[in-house]
Structure 1
């Protein structure tokens, strides 16, 4: 599959919702930190690339005096935002805005806080995307982007299927696929992904980067196992050709829901992931 055709965001809504819900402890900690950086009395918050609205609603809880807008290009995702907000009693403060990025940046209202979780790397010119996000900030406003960190680890080095080191090889295949995906994006521009430097290049003042863990030891509950299965199924769909036949066979064993060796049933599965949040502030008038 062409990497540029790999994202049907509407179809991925349930998967994205499950993953974001699993990451709620990381997100809550990150938003608490962001709250200490945000201007006092923040009245407008944007969740850019909101997906199904898990973070949108967490932002509304963290900034109870603010109007929070979920920005996304997928109608099914925005419908989920509205349903989630209504279910949490937030419908009066949460709204939605459909925008295809990067062109839709120009349609965004000014905000005191902008959150963009794993959005920028889906846009061809990452420096231009950050500059566009910076232009949405009111003076003293804060931008937070989630980029980088460490991908999921979920099984021991040797877990009894295939050759040991499977996860390292899967990660290498993912890096190759990611590079191809980036190259295929419209307007793709190569940059050194030094995020504080890129934020500075967008005219902002960096205010720190922090990394947050999602650490769920074995034995995993059902929700975490389903997120791992989603993760592996996506890799089987998009990266199988980049894996050796033995590793494809191992992946198929892990996706066998009826097998004790499958990810949904094996007792040694865990979930360990690190997400890095980079923040920067718009300058105040002199």
Structure 2
């Protein structure tokens, strides 16, 4: 997963930069920023760039991903104020030496079975007046026109439906999974936090797509083809095969109308003094 996670975060950097700039207006001069579920550390390093006076702690269950995060921080010159912590969330946060002035969970909360309990644990690890920021929700990515000239129109909407079914199964199979209405401001309030705010951020990379964007789209569609090929409509499977064929003029490697458009939503709240 590491190359895919890195490629996605690097391509989505403009979106993350806008989100972090929004956070920087509310969180001034944080001492410690914790990236809970950091993966390979692309966003962790963006925090180090955005907040040059802060220490950044990347937290993840995967030690290989954290090694990549440390290597990225070293390449960018952040080693002296960048650390990593390996373990399962949220319990591993108890091993942090200091409470966080800003705790970020970017699309990691939904991988925890009891999201309400996880938010409460995150809130406990905040310093007084500290901010919890979670990125959950938004809009599905779009790469292609509704009618892309091959196969049946509306391919991406049908892929969305397959992903939604997979997501529900993934959540149900998590240890300690609890069904929860995804009212994030209400859940933040239930964790004892105040002043909930929500804002969405757009990534708009118009056609013609760059080589990096094409590679990301091809990888994303290939993952969908591999994951759902046995259950999807045969015509849609054939369409994906053509889209993934580098020699096909209608494929994502060559078509001129390829783009990347998506939105991600950030929810924040503050711990009382």
Under a length normalisation based on structure 1, what TM-score does the superposition of the two structures give? Answer: 0.92
1:106 aligns with 2:94: yes
Partner SS, residue 250 of structure 1: helix
* 1:102 Cα offset (Å): 3.7
Do the aligned partners of 1:199 and 1:206 also contact (CA within 8 Å) in 2? no
For 1:180 and 1:237, locate their aligned partners in 2 and report how far apart those are by CA, in whole Å.
Answer: 17
Do the aligned partners of 1:46 and 1:111 also contact (CA within 8 Å) in 2? yes
* 1:52 Cα offset (Å): 1.1
Q: State the Cα RMSD in Å.
A: 1.2
Q: Which residue is equivalent to 1:94? A: 82
Q: Deviations over 1:208-233 (max 9, x none)?
A: 11100000111000111111112112
For 1:166 and 1:253, locate their aligned partners in 2 and report how far apart those are by CA, in whole Å.
Answer: 13
1:280 aligns with 2:258: no
Q: Which residue is equivalent to 1:149? A: 138
Do the aligned partners of 2:36 and 2:89 also contact (CA within 8 Å) in 1? no
Q: Which residue is equivalent to 1:194? A: 183
Partner SS, residue 80 of structure 2: coil
For 1:78 and 1:257, locate their aligned partners in 2 and report how far apart those are by CA, in whole Å.
Answer: 33
1:163 aligns with 2:146: no
Gap runs ≥5 in structure 1: 1-11
* 1:20 Cα offset (Å): 0.4
Q: Which residue is equivalent to 2:53? A: 65
* 1:240 Cα offset (Å): 2.2
Partner SS, residue 95 of structure 1: strand
Do the aligned partners of 1:131 and 1:202 also contact (CA within 8 Å) in 2? yes
Among 63, 71, 74, the alignment partner of 1:83 is 71
Partner SS, residue 70 of structure 1: strand
Partner SS, residue 281 of structure 1: strand
Do the aligned partners of 2:48 and 2:78 also contact (CA within 8 Å) in 1? yes
For 1:74 and 1:115, locate their aligned partners in 2 and report how far apart those are by CA, in whole Å.
Answer: 17
1:269 aligns with 2:258: yes
1:53 aligns with 2:16: no
Do the aligned partners of 2:188 and 2:196 also contact (CA within 8 Å) in 1? no
* 1:106 Cα offset (Å): 2.9
Under a length normalisation based on structure 2, what TM-score does the superposition of the two structures give? Answer: 0.96
1:131 aligns with 2:131: no
For 1:223 and 1:238, locate their aligned partners in 2 and report how far apart those are by CA, in whole Å.
Answer: 23
For 2:201 and 2:29, locate their aligned partners in 1 and report how far apart those are by CA, in whole Å.
Answer: 26
Among 164, 167, 170, the alignment partner of 1:175 is 164
Partner SS, residue 192 of structure 1: coil
Among 229, 240, 258, the alignment partner of 2:218 is 229
Deviating above 4 A after TM superposition, structure 1's stretches of 4 or more consecutive aligned residues are none
* 1:265 Cα offset (Å): 1.6
Gap runs ≥5 in structure 2: none
Q: Which residue is equivalent to 1:3? A: none
Partner SS, residue 202 of structure 2: strand
For 1:238 and 1:186, locate their aligned partners in 2 and report how far apart those are by CA, in whole Å.
Answer: 22
